[in-house]
Amino acid sequence: MKKDIHPKSYRMVVFKDMSNDYAFLTRSTAATKETIVWEDGNEYPLIKVEISHMSHPFYTGKSMFVDTAGRIEKFKKRYEKKK
């Protein structure tokens, strides 16, 4: 294996599923300017995600409709102009 190909700047980061407000703390190198105060009282960088294992149909076994970014409205606007 190649040496020194992985980043060394791992730090604790909170990932938050915006569809159901589920959050979890893990190590990551992902960059962000937002922060959040975690359950332990410490402040950590915050990464917002649209879907996680708590909301994805594969893991939950349920089909869910998640429209966090107004995808239907964007689609209609895009193709409305072509009519």
Evaluate whether residue 5 is within a structural domain.
Answer: no
Evaluate whether residue 49 is within a structural domain.
Answer: yes
- Could you report the per-residue pLDDT of 48-73, keeping only the tens digit for each? 988 777 776 655 555 555 555 666 77
DSSP 7: -
- Could you report the per-residue pLDDT of 2-53, keeping only the tens digit for each? 888 888 889 999 999 888 888 999 999 999 999 999 999 999 999 998 877 7
* Structural domain count, the chain: 1
Evaluate whether residue 1 is within a structural domain.
Answer: no
Q: Residue 5: what pLDDT? A: 87
Evaluate whether residue 3 is within a structural domain.
Answer: no
Its sign, for the CA torsion 23, 26, 30, 33, is: positive
Query: Contact, 57 vs 25, CB < 8 A?
Result: no
- The reported pTM is 0.63
Evaluate whether residue 56 is within a structural domain.
Answer: yes
Its domain, for residue 64, covers 11-80
Evaluate whether residue 4 is within a structural domain.
Answer: no
Evaluate whether residue 39 is within a structural domain.
Answer: yes
